[in-house]
Amino acid sequence: MPEFMLHHYSNDHQKMGVYHGQESYDIYDDNLSLDAFKQAFKLLVKKHPIFRTVFIIQNGKPVCQVVKNNLRFSINEEDISNLNPDEQENYIDAFVKQDRQNLFNVENPNQPLFRVWIFRKAKNRFEFFTSMHHAITDGWSSTEFLNQLYELYSILKQGEEITVSPAANVYQEFVALEKEIISSPDASNFWKMHLKNYTYQPLQPLINPKKQVEYNAEEYNLDL
């Protein structure tokens, strides 16, 4: 699946946002601490290998998935509190569209497959924007990511210290199991018989080359 997504992402010449996930959250907190929030995000990157995952690409195809011990990344911050609410929304909307045009360089193993921005709207309010390649995230993991982020943030802004260790690399176990199955004649024969009459139909977005197409977002307001 990552190979499929990376291939179509690299060929997204119209830059429609295929497999380029963007999420933005308007966060209000009377006891806001951006330092604690940024530290919480850094701890999650340290804890979860998927954020430190890159791909080695050769001849346009991923040949290896690598989890780095350390991967340099930035938490970008911009103060837009001088703008009125309508101007702030317009500014962020324009930024999101521009970010969608800025594809990740999946062939650069030193570049993370995510970007993070914090837009300061007021003393106690900010917009948290994430841009991530779908090869490292999905809807379910995004929800868990937010839950853990806010949990860490709540603890850190109380002044408590937190030490996290990298989570167990369960994907490594999955890869080992896959290799075992691939090398098994019994497994190979089973799937050959099971898929004997199956016709392969690649799943990809339906694109009309005559029309300019893009992926649009919807807005949901939640009380956290």
Most confident of 10-14, 55-59, 107-111, 149-153: 149-153
Is the model's pLDDT at 91 over the cut of 90? yes
- Which residue, among 42, 77, 55, has the nearest Cα to 10 in the 3D structure? 55
* Phi, psi values for residue 57, rounded to 5°: -105, 130
103-114: pLDDT as tens digits: 898 888 899 999
From the CA atom positions of the chain, what is the Rg in Å?
20
Q: pLDDT value at position 204?
A: 59
Whole-number Å distance between alpha carbons of 52 and 73: 10
pLDDT at 130 over 90: yes
Helix, strand, coil % over all residues of the chain, rounded to 5: 40, 20, 40
**Cα 174 to Cα 171: distance, rounded to the nearest angstrom:** 5
- CB atoms under 10 Å from CB of 121, counted, come to 20
Confidence of residue 143 (pLDDT cuts 50, 70, 90): confident
pLDDT tens digit sequence for 22-81: 999 999 999 999 999 999 999 999 999 889 988 888 777 767 888 898 899 999 999 999
Residue 220 scores a pLDDT above 90? no
CATH T-level fold of 1-195: Chloramphenicol Acetyltransferase (3.30.559)
Q: What integer pLDDT is reported at residue 118 of this predicted model?
A: 98
The pLDDT value recorded for residue 7 is 61
Helical (H) or strand (E) element with 132: strand 125-133
Quick one: pLDDT at residue 213? Answer: 52
The residue type at 12:
D
pLDDT-above-90 percentage for the chain: 45
- Per the model's pLDDT, the better-predicted residue between 6 and 136 turns out to be 136
Token pair belonging to 182: 């691939």
| Model pLDDT for residues 162-215, shown as the tens digit of each residue | 988 877 666 667 777 878 888 899 988 998 899 888 887 766 555 555 555 555
pLDDT of res. 9: 65
Q: What is the pLDDT of residue 210?
A: 54
- 212: Cα separation from own chain's centroid: 25
Better-scored residue on pLDDT, 21 or 87:
87
